[in-house]
Amino acid sequence: MAEKIKYVIGLDLGSSKICAVICEINETGGLDLVGFGSTESKGLSRGVVVNLDAAAAVIKQSVEEAERAAETVVESVFVGVSGEHVKSFNSRGAVSISTDDREISVEHIELVIDRAKEAISLPSDVKIVHMIPQAFVVDGQEGIKEPLGLLGGHLEVGCHVITASNLAHQNVVTAVNRAGVVVNDTILQQLASAESTLSNDDKELGVAVIDIGGGTTDLAIFTQGALRHTFILPLAGDQITNDIAVGLRTTIPEAERIKRKYGCALPRLIPEELSFSVSSVGGRKPKSIGKKILCEIVQARMEEILLLIQEEIKHVGFDRKLGAGLVLTGGTAQLEGVVELAEEKMDLPVRLGTPMGLDKMETVLLNSTYSTAIGLVLYGYRTHFRTITKVNTNSNIFSRLWSLVKNQS
């Protein structure tokens, strides 16, 4: 018998951290945070599983930490996917409305989306992760968001399609399964970040969310309320840490520490005389380094990341369509001066995006590092909760499958 869903769980498999967030559906239909676990990432690199056992072990650790806090057992999760293998493009479909009353039904809408899917020819090693309708056209009338119930003879749809390598996708699912958890669905990481940091007004006005993490910088562009473009750049905070380690001849952990403590992306904000102590490699004595030098290293790499993202936005023709500007999120967006640098370089309004949308939240999660994890809960809940039916509760993980519906938003 169908059982009421009580919890929605997000699992962010980042290059830097693995983060599980358990939310309980409250009596008003909102979401309350009840458990949270985060561990250092292992076995994953830039969205791709590179060591299954290591990845499964840290997933298990982070899920168990969240379970202890929530005092519940996690059965299934919404998982984020990312990586250079992820591609996106647009596709169109059309159908005739041949019923006597000419009223557009749910079946017509599903059929027209299927047609847009049929119009795509994919290599056999690639799968569709998202097929997201942007707008419908009814008898030539464009820009219709909700065609259900309208009268018409011809229905068209434009969809944004996101694909991933079958094997890379399967490796993510396998790693999660090995940790004893079933995957409800996979969600592109920046769509999750957008879900927790953007308002509907942002999406209507035109906005780009840029999630600058450890291994990748993920972009999603919305205009007129719809997703228009997604892009993943394999360059982010880890590269800045690496630059600092090389530039200041120190270790990666020490470079990470000083980046977080003293890093700034705008050296001109830093007085010449400020300095700090850095441990050296090879047992040499710690040395004193000017903060300005550190910040010049940070600025150089940050500018490169922003430039590459700006080129991508221009390349797809949205640079003049972002009325709400840019929203920077992810761990690296916390670096001092990044928002100001982006504003200067990209000539658009820029703000730091922190996760919103839960009814009950802990302040520790009000941080751009957790935008994806919380967004996975929100996105999964919005697109699946009404249609998920629990089919079996008390047996092993393979029988705890959920019946899934198409992931359309």
Ligand X SMILES: Nc1ncnc2c1ncn2[C@@H]1O[C@H](COP(=O)(O)OP(=O)(O)OP(=O)(O)O)[C@@H](O)[C@H]1O
Task: Say which entry of ligand X, Mg ion, none residue 263 contacts (CB below 5 to 8 A, set by partner kind).
Answer: ligand X
Per-position x/- string for 186-225, each x denoting binding to Mg ion as judged by CB under 5 A, each - no binding: ---------------------------x------------
- By the rule CB under 6 A, 63 interacts with ligand X: no
Alpha helices in 182-290 (DSSP H): 189-197, 200-205, 237-247, 252-262
CB nearer to ligand X: pick between 334 and 407: 334
Tokens 């119009």, located at residue: 119
Judged by CB under 6 A, the chain residues 363 through 402 that form the site for ligand X are: 369
Backbone angles phi, psi at 58, to 5 degrees: -75, -30
Placement of tokens 């730091």 in the chain:
352
Instruction: State the DSSP H helix or E strand holding residue 346, giving kind and residue range, or none if neither.
Output: helix 338-346
Contact status: 332 vs ligand X (CB under 6 A): yes
Task: Give a three-class secondary structure readout of 288-306.
Answer: EEEHHHHHHHHHHHHHHHH
Alpha carbon distance 171, 173 (integer Å): 5
Pick out residues in 224-243 that bind ligand X (CB under 6 A). Answer: 236-238, 241
- Residue 15 makes contact with ligand X by CB under 6 A: yes
10 binds Mg ion (CB under 5 A): no
Residue 169 binds to ligand X (criterion: CB under 6 A): no
Distance CA 117, CA 161 (A): 8
Q: Decide if residue 260 touches ligand X (CB under 6 A).
A: yes
Which span (257-265, 378-386, 391-399, 400-408) binds ligand X, by CB under 6 A?
257-265
Q: Cβ(86)–Cβ(162) under 8 Å?
A: yes
Biggest alpha carbon–alpha carbon distance for the chain: 85
End-to-end CA distance of the chain: 27
- Name which of Mg ion, ligand X, none residue 369 binds, using a CB cut-off of 5 to 8 Å depending on partner kind: ligand X
Asked if 305 touches ligand X (CB under 6 A), the answer is no
Binding site partner of 334, from Mg ion, ligand X, none, Cβ cut-off 5-8 A by kind: ligand X
92 membership: H or E segment, kind and range: strand 87-96
Q: Is 156 in the site for ligand X (CB under 6 A)?
A: no
Which C-beta is closer to ligand X: that of 41 or that of 250? 41
Count the neighbouring beta carbons within 10 Å of the beta carbon of residue 28.
Answer: 8
Q: Does 331 bind ligand X (CB under 6 A)?
A: yes
Nearer to ligand X, 93 or 331 (CB): 331
User: In Å, what is the CA distance from 389 to each residue of 130, 251, 402?
Assistant: 21, 50, 6
Is residue 186 involved in binding ligand X (CB under 6 A)? no
**Would you give the binding string for Mg ion spanning residues 50-89, x where CB under 5 A is met?**
----------------------------------------
Site residues, ligand X (CB under 6 A): 14-17, 41, 47, 82, 213-216, 236-238, 241, 256, 259-260, 263, 330-332, 334-335, 369
